[in-house]
Structure 1
Amino acid sequence: MLKIRAVFALLVPVTHALLRFSCSQLVVERADPLVNPGVLQSPHVHQIIGGNSFNTTMDPTLAPADQATCTTCTFAEDFSNYWTAVLYFRARNGTFKRVPQKGNVGFEASKGGMTVYYTPTLASGAAKGGVTAFKKGFRMIVGNPTYRTEAQAKQFRQLTYTCLKNMNTRTDETLDFPKKPCTAGIMVNVRFPTCWDGKNLDSPDHMAHVAYPSSGTFENNGPCPSTHPVKLPQLFFETIFATEKFADQSLWPTDGSQPFVWSFGDATGYGNHGDYVFGWKGDSLQKAMDSNCNINCPQLKTQSIDVGNKCAQAQKVTEDVDGWVPELPGGMPMS
């Protein structure tokens, strides 16, 4: 972990407390228990990480930590599920192929997946009890897959893309897809709101129970609005897609447009979104937040990336999501 700490210090500003860890891929399939509960095949493909209790309903009365037998995450008490859509390469001939994910800096041995962050605050050390960890049954979504304009995307703060010149690139984030080949791939950044109404573990749109600071930002410790007074950790995903595997521009569209498209048919990038179902065991996450753990966290149990890689699920409905296909899985149209 010392190597990870040293490398990570080069990537972000100095912080007082931060959990940063790897979660390998659990399954890639068309399932979404928040937007399409109980449906065996949701409209578009997702990559899911975390505990192996993931299912099409995710009954909020059943704690993932009680149902799961393993997790793909390196913090072994985290049986949460996190998911995003996946990228496809659209070739000049109109066929599609899924872009594989790869491990982040310090987590190169992970099987695809994401890097997950929980940050109490970046402005000053979090006081014990000053940040409330998510509760049993909590879930939320950020972003909207139907959005196709910059103005729409700006309704959500910090859903961005980084065109990686190398694996340490952490500058020049954009709201839309990069327009040129990215030497080391495209990193997708999904940051969730950090204020909670303190009452509802969910809401009909899976968003209304959380909010952004009323002024300022999470990074400068902006205050929460009176409607959502409880401070949450900032939950943040980084997913790196190995788009460099599709750098041959003779395969790119003849009109010069960028060739990557989300599994829900978005070629702009403005539909970026992410989903979360809380599943930490007991009060382990609250202990980490109160302890101001910084990357390494002695208060939490850990497992190796190799162990996390072994935790996996089979698709609930078998479908080819890796080969060349004539259309996006589910027949999702380009929009």
Structure 2
Amino acid sequence: MARRSKIWSGALVAGALLFTSLGVGGIATTTGAGAPDKEQTVSLSGAAHAGHKMAASTAASGDDQDGDGYIPANPPVTGVTPSTAEPPHRYFHEFQANCYVSHTKPDDPIVYPQQPGKSHDHTFMGNTTTDAGSTTASLDAGSTRCLAPGDRSAYWMPTLYKGNTSVLPVGPQVIYYKAGVTDYTSVRPFPKGLRFVVGSPTQSVSEFRNHKGFVEGWECGDSFFNSDFPTNCPSRPDVQLNLRFQAPSCWDGRYLDTPDHKSHMAYPVVNPGTNNNICPASHPVALPMIEFKMAWPVNGDLSQVRLASGPAWSFHYDFFNAWDDRTLRTMVEHCLVGGLQCDARGYDQNHPEAGAALNARYELP
């Protein structure tokens, strides 16, 4: 079966949103009616995450000063209406964050902040300092194993084992930043400190397969769309175990985190009138859609392969944004809003006339 991925596109109509004042992290803010209060925010998006249970963390994390699990955005983004516009068709609107594995540790600064050793083992990419005590400030001050020095974000997932031996991805892993809505020109950068969990270690096999982030599932060789590790995996040096999984890309504009680490985010929905993908009214702010494309150097007999969190369908991942604001804004505007298929420098080889967003050192010129 041929490889496939979700592509969102459209044709030209008038009516793109105009945003006026620039807030933290390059986020434009507008005036208007505010988002719901804490209790309403959770209930509004609860249906989008039904069946994906995650224990709410009550320990103060340094960012969550009152320990209630809510981290307000400062400033919040209010008065936004989901865009139904259709910009000129561009087949791609994405860029890559190529990041190496930095370390493994039984920590999770989102679900178990300030509780070292509390979590199952995780494989961390990007920021080299990520641990149970990580905060926005500590990540911002840390170093990174992403090609772009400005990407000090933390990315992590359950460690994969073959028997009792951990198997770590080799080389830079591809983390896509894409437009999840038809109006790719409406996508804004992540606010600094935004964090969320995609999927759940306690989800069932059907919940994993039917999750909105499921793209190709587990694949190896010519076996695709698997909820479990594929049994047909050739023993060849060029064959690896792969997974593609997408994150929600619509934000409520109010919170950088919520107690279940999901309710402030939602997946795009289909607009019945136009059949376009738009953000729901409860989460109207379009952000980049992260897609993990992971590769583990394991093949052949996979009967002894497991995740630290359990079976194959317990896969999930975490994201904690610590990008340099100017670098992320430049990449989003050049590649996503610009309708390009960019590498980690923000260069589209099919459109060389557009130039690169970053220099040869993956930094702003």
For the criterion TM > 0.5, the same-fold answer is: yes
Q: How much does 1:41 deviate?
A: 1.1
Q: Which residue of 2 aligns with 1:120?
A: 179
Residue among 220, 231, 237 paired with 2:286: 231
Contact 1:63 1:279 in 2 (8 A): no
Q: How much does 1:209 deviate?
A: 0.2
Residue among 283, 290, 308 paired with 1:263: 308
Contact 1:75 1:301 in 2 (8 A): no
Q: Which residue of 1 aligns with 2:260?
A: 205
Q: Which residue of 1 aligns with 2:226?
A: 174
Report the secondary structure of 1:28's partner residue: strand
Q: How much does 1:303 deviate?
A: 3.9
Change (3 A) 1:43 1:178: same
Q: Which residue of 1 aligns with 2:100?
A: 24
Number of residues of Structure 1 aligned to a counterpart in Structure 2: 257
Report the secondary structure of 2:290's partner residue: strand
Residue among 70, 79, 99 paired with 2:152: 79
Counterpart code for 2:324? K
Report the secondary structure of 2:102's partner residue: strand
Contact 2:109 2:131 in 1 (8 A): yes
Residues in 2 aligned to 1:156 and 1:262: alpha-carbon distance in whole angstroms: 21
Residues in 1 aligned to 2:120 and 2:241: alpha-carbon distance in whole angstroms: 20
- The answer for unaligned runs of 5 or more in structure 2 is 8-89, 347-355
1:299 aligns with 2:357: yes
Contact 2:105 2:131 in 1 (8 A): no
Contact 2:220 2:232 in 1 (8 A): no
Residues in 1 aligned to 2:306 and 2:158: alpha-carbon distance in whole angstroms: 10
Contact 1:18 1:120 in 2 (8 A): yes
Contact 2:123 2:158 in 1 (8 A): yes
1:64 aligns with 2:139: yes
Query: 1:158-202: per-residue Cα shift (whole Å, max 9, x none)?
Result: 16534232xxx7x83223321333441211222100111111111
Change (3 A) 1:32 1:122: same
TM-score where L is the length of structure 2: 0.63
Contact 2:270 2:276 in 1 (8 A): no
Report the secondary structure of 1:291's partner residue: helix
Q: Which residue of 1 aligns with 2:191?
A: 135
Change (3 A) 1:221 1:118: farther
Q: Which residue of 2 aligns with 1:330?
A: none
> Aligned residues: percent identity?
24
Residues in 2 aligned to 1:205 and 1:280: alpha-carbon distance in whole angstroms: 23
Residue among 43, 49, 57 paired with 2:125: 49
Q: How much does 1:152 deviate?
A: 5.5
More relative contact order in 1 or in 2 (CA 8 Å, sep 6+)?
Answer: 1
Residues in 1 aligned to 2:195 and 2:219: alpha-carbon distance in whole angstroms: 30
Residues in 1 aligned to 2:227 and 2:216: alpha-carbon distance in whole angstroms: 5
Q: How much does 1:137 deviate?
A: 1.3
1:98 aligns with 2:166: yes
- The answer for unaligned runs of 5 or more in structure 1 is 1-9, 91-95, 104-109, 253-257, 305-335
Contact 1:161 1:186 in 2 (8 A): no
Tell me the C-alpha RMSD between the 2 structures.
2.7
Q: How much does 1:211 deviate?
A: 0.4
Q: How much does 1:74 deviate?
A: 1.0
